[in-house]
Amino acid sequence: IAGHAGGALFASLEFAVARFSPKVLVVVGHTGDEVVRAALQQVSGDKLPSKSLRHVLDQVVPSCMKAIRDAGSASVLETTGGRKLKVQRMATELNALYTIEQLLIHSSIIRDAVKNRGLELHAAVLDPTTGKLDFVGQHPLVKEILARD
């Protein structure tokens, strides 16, 4: 989510959760996400974008940095292009999970729905070329995040 706490996107999600009491909310990233690609370029030393784009990229950079670190160096059997696709996919997954974390930390409405009304937050990645949706699952630290209250 290229949104921020207190922004329109968070407010829309909070409204939907409060109004409709869903049992599942899915945060979907997609493999061709230009924001993730631009954030990866930024982490790799590309020139600074405009201030407004930088604000959006700042939300994604932590996931990109972790993806680059976790992907490690390319193996003998892995091409540079293959590694870039792997890092992009990993950054997309991590960003969806990071978004779930931000929703739990900054939205008392969503946090309460998860704690008391059975709402589950799941991450998924869409491949827009095939339409295939791969579910990543819930944030692995959801219990720990909720315990921070």
Beta bridge partners of 135: 124
**For 74-124, what is each residue's pLDDT tens digit?**
565 567 777 788 898 999 999 999 999 999 999 999 999 999 999 999 999
**For 39-88, what is each residue's pLDDT tens digit?**
888 888 888 778 888 888 888 888 999 998 888 765 655 677 777 888 98
Rounded-to-integer distance, Cα 11 and Cα 6, Å: 7
* 96 in Cβ contact with 125 (< 8 Å): yes
Segment 118-135 shows an average pLDDT of: 95
* This prediction's pTM: 0.84
Q: Provide the pLDDT confidence category of residue 18 given band limits of 50, 70 and 90.
A: very high
Segment 3-24 shows an average pLDDT of: 86
* Beta sheet of 24-30, edge-to-edge order: 24-30, 120-127, 132-138
Q: How many other CB atoms sit within 10 Å of the CB of residue 79?
A: 10
